[in-house]
Structure 1
Amino acid sequence: MATIAIVGAGPGLGFSIGKVFGQQGFEVALIARRRSTLDDMVGRLGELEIPAGGYQADIMDRASLVQAFKDIAANHSPVEVLEFSPAPRGPQPGLVLAGPLDVSVANVQPHIDFYVHGAITATGQVLPDMIERGTGTLLFTTGPSSVEPSPAMGNVGIACAALRNWVLNLHDTLASKGVYAAHVPLSLSADEADPETIAPHYWNLHTRGEGAEHLLSGDVLRAAPRTEES
């Protein structure tokens, strides 16, 4: 049995991705800041007879994130899939929005810590083993500002675009090592952002293992089948 580790797991998309992979035979390791959220998701997955564990960590506290992966390694099968999709839920110190004219080192750095340093830290905990095994999938989720400039997210876009650049380079570098890395920017309106509809696409990306970037828009969701068997 293999494990999917979901960093930034929440009751929406993170939970739905865990459910899809769990129904395909994966163990599910959820990483989030709030213990109550983790316990609720683990309980709901348990009701579906999906083996799952919740691991509390703050992406801005890299030591806690490293420890979460140590605990996952002690309690689960090897991590075959890493899905990184953190999104601030509620106020967090320093994570503010700024337009292009208001961008500063002070309001960009926290987003770089959150998205870029968080992704690098999480990846570093699983990638060496993936390379050694010659198999694994790394999926990194961002919003549309990583691909298309959005003035309202002038500082966030800098961090997300930097993460995208790294993931695209990872994709090319890992192609010969049996490890698949891809960037998944979500560009969805509120009425299109249904986690139950979006989550099966992550399974499809894992099983296909093709392409460095997969924009998920309403048109893509409507055109694709819900789930493909491996």
Structure 2
Amino acid sequence: MPSLAIVGAGPQLDLAIARDVLEYSPAGSLDSAPPTTPTATRPSSVESETNLRLYGAVPATQAVLPAMRQAGAGTLLYTSGAGSVRPVPRAAHAGAAAAALRNWAVNLHKVLADSGIQAAHITLDVTIGMSSFYGRPTATADQISPLYWDLHTTHRDEAERIFRG
């Protein structure tokens, strides 16, 4: 049976070591980093989101990658919202951090090509099970999960996918 680590924490995370799959889906809150437009964004606005999204993904990956390399197989999946590919001005701080995670994950995919390890970024252009003040459609985990399964099992050559619902 495959081992799976699902991580949704920031840089100070407790991580169960996975040999097969790491799925990193950080989710911030409006309390920790209120949305900012590009002109209102300050370094502290972007810092909290970057700590959560990118700086959380790096140590999570470092924790599981050695075992995956030793096995010559594994899957690393990173998730962010649509701001990584379709910027929303009223959430510029989160979009900048999501774009950084997407860029890093796509580059990781390229570096790990031919190693047996899949790395991919998933952009969710939906909210999961609740409405959003950004006007995005909603989806359920059951609707989204096949995309993750496909990237893990049959579409290992793909560096990214966008789920639009």
Q: TM-score band, normalised by the shorter chain? A: 0.7 to 0.9
Q: How far apart are the structure 2 equivalents of 1:212 and 1:182?
A: 4
SS of 1:79 mapped into structure 2: coil
Which residue of structure 2 aligns with residue 47 of structure 1?
Answer: none
1:212 paired residue among 135, 159, 165: 159
Deviations for 1:153-203, whole angstroms, at most 9, x for unmatched residues? Answer: 111111110111111100011012110000100112645411111112211
Which residue of structure 1 aligns with residue 87 of structure 2?
Answer: 149
Q: How far apart are the structure 2 equivalents of 1:98 and 1:192?
A: 23
State which structure, 1 or 2, has the greater radius of gyration over its C-alpha atoms. Answer: 1
2:26 paired residue among 51, 65, 86: 86
Aligned AA for 1:214? R
Q: How far apart are the structure 1 equivalents of 2:144 and 2:29?
A: 19
SS of 2:139 mapped into structure 1: coil
Kept in 1: contact 2:28–2:52 (CA 8 A): no
Q: How far apart are the structure 2 equivalents of 1:192 and 1:59?
A: 25
Which residue of structure 2 aligns with residue 112 of structure 1?
Answer: 50
Kept in 1: contact 2:28–2:49 (CA 8 A): no
Aligned AA for 2:45? N
Q: How far apart are the structure 1 equivalents of 2:28 and 2:45?
A: 15
How large is the RMSD of aligned CA atoms in angstroms? Answer: 1.6
| Structure 2 alignment gaps of length 5 or more | 132-136
Correspondences of 1:1-230 after superposition (within 5 Å): 1-8=1-8, 58-60=9-11, 62=12, 65=13, 68-69=14-15, 72-73=16-17, 78-89=18-29, 91-92=31-32, 95-188=33-126, 190=131, 192-208=138-154, 209-218=156-165
SS of 2:65 mapped into structure 1: helix
The CA deviation at 1:97 is: 1.2
SS of 1:141 mapped into structure 2: strand
Residues 167 and 217 of structure 1, relative CA distance in 2, 3 Å threshold? same
Aligned AA for 2:46? V
| Structure 1 alignment gaps of length 5 or more | 9-57, 219-230
Aligned AA for 1:88? G
User: So what's the TM-score if we normalise by structure 1?
Assistant: 0.64
User: So what's the TM-score if we normalise by structure 2?
Assistant: 0.87
Residues 141 and 161 of structure 1, relative CA distance in 2, 3 Å threshold? same
SS of 2:113 mapped into structure 1: helix
Q: How far apart are the structure 1 equivalents of 2:30 and 2:91?
A: 17
Amino-acid identity (%): 40
SS of 2:121 mapped into structure 1: strand
SS of 1:126 mapped into structure 2: helix
